[in-house]
Amino acid sequence: MKELKPTDREYLLSKIRDVKDFPKPGIVFKDITTLLNDREAFSFLMDHLEQRYREYDLDFIAGIDSRGFIFGSALSDRLGVGFVPIRKAGKLPYTTIAEKYALEYGFDEVEIHIDAFRGKEDAKVLLIDDLIATGGTAVAAANLINKAGAKCVEACMVLNLTFLEGREKLEKITPLYSVLDIS
């Protein structure tokens, strides 16, 4: 089950709630909390991801703050590999390296511990998060993994908002697997 069948995609999509006009008018927010609190749907998604990534021989999974922590830690446990958090600036307690990325008005920054991959040269890392939109955070996170001496072998996003074209930016750095594409 490396790729989901259309009926499986529809099943998972049916478990995600649309919230209109959040966080501002005109936006339809994809609320994954309804997928997370559905034991069967969450288990189905994690079974799929486990089967997909079992043969990748990963060393670590890196999750983007904060929802990437949910999927990443669950998957790292299933695959028996370490989990590495990628957080907003100032949230990690030890020495970090950082990567800035552009926002519509200004910049933001994500960080990773300098020893996140425990000195393992060319560690194979999967980057995971709940969603890719414009791609800024995901691109910065993939760059951080590579700057830390590891290799981001793929990024996995539960949702890809195709109309925002983040996929195109991220795929210049690493392949992307999106479970669900939203147009």
Active-site residue identified among 67, 78, 109, 171:
67
Question: Is 55 a residue of the active site?
Answer: no
- Which residue blocks in 15-123 are alpha helix, DSSP H? 33-36, 39-53, 67-79
Token pair, residue 21, equals 């006009």
Question: Is 104 a residue of the active site?
Answer: yes
Tell me how many degrees the CA angle 57-114-167 measures, rounded to the nearest 5: 55
- Which residue blocks in the chain are alpha helix, DSSP H? 6-14, 33-36, 39-53, 67-79, 136-147, 166-170
Closest CA to 146 of 60, 56, 55: 60
Between helix 39-53 and helix 6-14 the angle, nearest 10°, is 140
Handedness of CA 119, 84, 46, 129 (dihedral sign): negative
Length of the chain, please?
A: 183
Active-site residue identified among 39, 40, 55, 104:
104
d(CA 131, CA 68): 9
- List the catalytic residues: 67, 104
